[in-house]
Structure 1
Amino acid sequence: MGRPCFSEALRVHPGRGGCGVGAVADLGGPSRQVVLDALAGLSAMEHRGGCLEATGDGAGLLLRTPRRFFERFVPSARSLAEGEHLSVGMLFFPPGEEGNLPPTQQEIDFVFRREGLKPLAWRKVPVDPTALGEGARRSRKEIWQILVGSGMVARAQLGRALFRVKSRLEHHFRDLYVASLAPDTVLYKAMATGAQLARFYPDLEDPGFVTDLAIFHRRYSTNTFSNWYLAQPFRVLGHNGEINTIKAARSAVRNLEAELGLPGLLMHQGSDSADLDRMVELLVTHGVPLLEALVRLLPAAWADRPAGTVPKEMLAWQRAVRRAMGSLAAWEGPAAVVATDGRWLVGLLDRMGLRPLRWLRTEGGRIVLASEVGAVPTGGSEVVEVGQLDPGEALAVDLDTGQVVRPDAVPQVLLATTRLNHRELATEGLL
């Protein structure tokens, strides 16, 4: 049985609440400690989450996929070819539908094959419902993972192919929720508290479940109801804040759906955070670097900074972004965002800095981002660098190369990697 919630008092004093978000990365490679630290950070920010009668508003981990853990679930008859990429999707089916799942899963397999991908196996995710509160148990989904080989799809095109599959699945199967389906990440989330999450998902307690990146989020529901789909992180990011311009942003995305011929870009009855995630995902899967995608949608007030502190070319780039994006850039409001595309980890604050986000680096190459100092346990002697993001600032980490892009270097990195023809203020082509 779930225990009473520490944060039930927040229902009476909502001003004390605000989602807790963070990340742990290890530049030295995958380890069990990354998962344990992320779970510890999740539990340490329980006071930032919402909970009623032992049912949490939501908690989750978005991780770089631990492939060795999942490879053992691939049947020998369908083994991966040498060099073939393994992706893992996390799907929520409606409760009580287990008997009808085989034909539905066969239809889903067909959608993957149409994209040139190779569905390898379905895995029913082990769960322990007794870890949850009664409300979460009543609404619990049938949770499955699909293991997918890249098949005939080139590595560079894999993200876009999986994105098309996600859009078609959620458009065709209205009761299906694709929690995550990406080349390099997998998402474990639930209508739970931080302490309940690992008990609900035994995978997270398995010694063989190792990774070098985990984003964690503890949700406090403010302007939407609590449910399994709205628990965070989402597919790309965890968000503490709210988008005040969400009506305009959604209208612009719906117009884009018609232009691209991709229905269902926005989550059905989703939250503002969910739709921000979908927009970032769209940009990233179409070739926009993660850091740039976030800065396009949540730009810094560079034009208002003292003369000479921001490169003129950066100001020209920002003007070009406004022209290229138009109303699609209407994402304004308090935001502390932590995001990943499976290679890069990015933390970013909105231009007003209305939510906190701190970071540190240890001597051993561990990076921690969190809403609060001390959320993730670290030995004081290990810490070699600390910082707090100021309004409009971002921090980015390349897990493959170990590069850490500090806030003052972000403009240079954006200019070096953008595909936007900002020198001519080109307006042709959104992406």
Structure 2
Amino acid sequence: MPSPNTVAPAQGLYQPDEFKDNCGFGLIAHMKGESSHHLVETAIHSLSCMTHRGGIAADGKTGDGCGLLLAMPKQFFRDEAKKLSDITLSEVFAVGTVFLNVDPALAQHSKNILTKEIEADGLRVLAWRVVPTNNDALGEIALQSLPAFEQVIVNCPMGVTEVEFNRKLFLARRRAEQQLQNDPSFYVTTLCSTVISYKGLMMPAAIAEFYTDLADERLKSHIVVFHQRFSTNTLPRWPLAQPFRYLAHNGEINTITANRNWALARTPKFENPLLPGLTELDPIVNRTGSDSSSLDNMLEILVGGGMDLFRALRMLVPPAWQNVETLDADLRAFYEFNSKHMEAWDGPAGLVIQDGRHAICMLDRNGLRPARWVITKNDYITLASEIGVWGYEPEDVISKGRVGPGQILVVDTLTGKVLDTKDVNTHLKNMRPYREWLRDHAIRLNANPELEEQLVDQGLTGDALKAAQKMFMVTFEERDQLLRPIAESGQEAVGSMGDDTPMAVLSRQVRHVTDYFRQQFAQVTN
């Protein structure tokens, strides 16, 4: 067996020891909900261990984007509010991290609008806190687009539940975003009572050096989602660093154009008494950010509108259920019912999500993104793109495994329970009488046996068949490579994802209209 320090031999220009993979993502949670600074430190260390999964700029200090999404460290912000102006926060409060223009006048204008919109909903902005940062931790390229950072602190009024409070904050944020859409510096990373975000274009090892809050022993959390970005589809920008407001995503949403178009088409029907004026907050899903940010937007809308978090996730990113003959009938009804309301946001996609209580990981039906988990004796559950992201001892491991295609893993830090795919499925299928709803309300289009029989009996042959093939532009290649496998084995032909044929628009021949459509795939920008 070779020594672990042995360098693998080069194979032509390929160096096996210099292999780089896709984005790194993960989460660390204390399964019993105990907050600690050690957990935050462990998350930062784990993030730095996945530096190889992100891009690095020429200055050696600017990254594609990395960040942490922490369950709200409440005592830390209570202490900070006291230091600001002797403010005492209520039991429920919110802190939002905001990127602002470096021009003080423009920054104050943005703060005034956000404050006005928050207070228009009957809430009270108690203070703005300048986030302490250290620019020495950044590279020259990151500094060129560096925003200013402040945190807005909002108290929840008496008689308003935490869920209602967060809905009001969501609507206020969206109204402010509409008014400030011409200011590219303005961006609210998070604004709610359950989570807080620290992210940007620094290298993972420097995130606690840049955001000095993260190095403060008083900052404690029981769930941390972390992400190291390898930029695809969109160039690195401060707001596009992950995690977003609910999730961090590893992969690409290859159906993103259709997903965004469907969101736009459905906007007039997105009415909900819990989110008044939602249809006026157009677009509800951004069309200029990354595919991951659009997915996060849609999840935020669904959960904010009162949908169960697990239902929203399984509606957006369902497993492969259509052709599973052994699938439970009630569970099949759940997926069939929800497929009529939302098309799949198709990956490859690995997702880690948190809402302050639940730490969740799920893979799309393709399962092309690794997600491995470990539970250790200190009640930590660690899930990441690769194993061994922090230095636990092998004898401290209680159990370990991986999340597979279409599977979901949930840690409920309130109850201390770990829920697997089967547990979540049981919860989902028992939520509503989906089978009954489908039976009573679904309209099904049935085949016409008489027409099929007539077509078979009077099938085209000879010159008539050739004329029909020419009329519908069925080529020899289509007959031989596509239709013949279907007729012989009842299966679709399998081909590569690539397409190196000339574009139909450049052809001198008359081409079928479908030849002018080409499938889109994610493009790496580094």
TM-score, structure 1 as length reference: 0.90
Residue 243 of structure 2 corresponds to which residue in structure 1?
A: 233
Letter in 1 for 2:200: A
Letter in 2 for 1:397: V
Cα distance 1:255–1:78, how it changes in 2: closer, same or farther (>3 A)?
Answer: farther
CA distance in 1, matches of 2:68, 2:96: 14
Residue 373 of structure 1 corresponds to which residue in structure 2?
A: 387
2:341 to 299, 324, 339: 324
Gaps of 5+ in 1: 1-8
1:291 to 297, 310, 313: 310
Letter in 2 for 1:278: N
CA distance in 1, matches of 2:293, 2:358: 20
Letter in 2 for 1:156: V
Query: Within 5 Å, which residues of 2 pair with 1:327-338?
Result: 329-338=343-352
Residue 314 of structure 1 corresponds to which residue in structure 2?
A: 331
The answer as to 2:159 corresponding to 1:155 is no
Residue 489 of structure 2 corresponds to which residue in structure 1?
A: none
- 3-state SS, counterpart of residue 377 of structure 1: coil
CA distance in 2, matches of 1:181, 1:264: 19
Residue 368 of structure 2 corresponds to which residue in structure 1?
A: 354
Residue 199 of structure 1 corresponds to which residue in structure 2?
A: 209
Residue 169 of structure 1 corresponds to which residue in structure 2?
A: 176
Residue 423 of structure 2 corresponds to which residue in structure 1?
A: 409
Residue 46 of structure 1 corresponds to which residue in structure 2?
A: 51
Query: Within 5 Å, which residues of 2 pair with 1:180-259?
Result: 180-259=190-269
Letter in 2 for 1:49: G
Q: Is the 8 A contact 2:27 2:382 kept in 1?
A: yes
CA distance in 2, matches of 1:33, 1:140: 29
Q: Is the 8 A contact 2:315 2:344 kept in 1?
A: no
Q: Is the 8 A contact 2:25 2:226 kept in 1?
A: yes
CA distance in 1, matches of 2:268, 2:100: 27
1:23 to 4, 24, 27: 27
CA distance in 2, matches of 1:376, 1:311: 39
CA distance in 2, matches of 1:345, 1:185: 12
Letter in 1 for 2:89: L
**Structure 1 residue 219 displacement after superposition:** 0.2
1:277-299 Cα offsets, whole Å, 9 max, x none, are: 11111111122222221111110
Cα distance 1:171–1:422, how it changes in 2: closer, same or farther (>3 A)?
Answer: farther
Q: Is the 8 A contact 2:66 2:199 kept in 1?
A: yes
CA distance in 1, matches of 2:399, 2:27: 16
When structure 1 is superposed on structure 2, of 296-305 and 271-280 the one drifting more is: 296-305
1:26-58 Cα offsets, whole Å, 9 max, x none, are: 124001111011101101111111111221000
Cα distance 1:285–1:377, how it changes in 2: closer, same or farther (>3 A)?
Answer: farther
Cα distance 1:286–1:377, how it changes in 2: closer, same or farther (>3 A)?
Answer: farther
TM-score, structure 2 as length reference: 0.74
Letter in 2 for 1:399: T
Residue 5 of structure 1 corresponds to which residue in structure 2?
A: none
**Structure 1 residue 315 displacement after superposition:** 0.4
- Over the matched positions of the two proteins, sequence identity in percent amounts to 37
CA distance in 2, matches of 1:334, 1:162: 32
Residue 6 of structure 1 corresponds to which residue in structure 2?
A: none
CA distance in 1, matches of 2:314, 2:226: 21
Cα distance 1:124–1:268, how it changes in 2: closer, same or farther (>3 A)?
Answer: farther
CA distance in 1, matches of 2:24, 2:220: 23
Q: Is the 8 A contact 1:291 1:346 kept in 2?
A: no
User: Larger Cα Rg: Structure 1 or Structure 2?
Assistant: 2
Residue 89 of structure 2 corresponds to which residue in structure 1?
A: 80
CA distance in 2, matches of 1:367, 1:98: 43
**Structure 1 residue 103 displacement after superposition:** 4.3
Cα distance 1:288–1:68, how it changes in 2: closer, same or farther (>3 A)?
Answer: same
**Structure 1 residue 395 displacement after superposition:** 0.2
CA distance in 1, matches of 2:369, 2:375: 21
Letter in 2 for 1:188: Y
Q: Is the 8 A contact 1:18 1:220 kept in 2?
A: yes
Cα distance 1:76–1:138, how it changes in 2: closer, same or farther (>3 A)?
Answer: closer
When structure 1 is superposed on structure 2, of 362-371 and 101-110 the one drifting more is: 101-110
Cα distance 1:422–1:35, how it changes in 2: closer, same or farther (>3 A)?
Answer: farther
Residue 105 of structure 1 corresponds to which residue in structure 2?
A: 111
1:61 to 63, 68, 78: 68
Gaps of 5+ in 2: 1-12, 271-278, 443-526
Letter in 2 for 1:362: T
**Structure 1 residue 255 displacement after superposition:** 2.6
CA distance in 2, matches of 1:167, 1:36: 33
Q: Is the 8 A contact 1:167 1:264 kept in 2?
A: no
2:359 to 341, 345, 349: 345
The answer as to 2:80 corresponding to 1:70 is no
CA distance in 2, matches of 1:183, 1:256: 29
**Structure 1 residue 302 displacement after superposition:** 2.6
1:107-147 Cα offsets, whole Å, 9 max, x none, are: 32121111122211101111111101110011001111101
Letter in 1 for 2:23: C
Cα distance 1:117–1:427, how it changes in 2: closer, same or farther (>3 A)?
Answer: farther
1:117 to 97, 118, 123: 123
- 3-state SS, counterpart of residue 337 of structure 1: strand
- 3-state SS, counterpart of residue 243 of structure 1: coil
Q: Is the 8 A contact 2:69 2:243 kept in 1?
A: yes
When structure 1 is superposed on structure 2, of 404-413 and 212-221 the one drifting more is: 404-413
Q: Is the 8 A contact 2:361 2:408 kept in 1?
A: yes
**Structure 1 residue 363 displacement after superposition:** 2.6
Letter in 2 for 1:259: K
Residue 320 of structure 2 corresponds to which residue in structure 1?
A: 301
**Structure 1 residue 169 displacement after superposition:** 1.4
Q: CA RMSD in A?
A: 2.2
Cα distance 1:203–1:304, how it changes in 2: closer, same or farther (>3 A)?
Answer: same
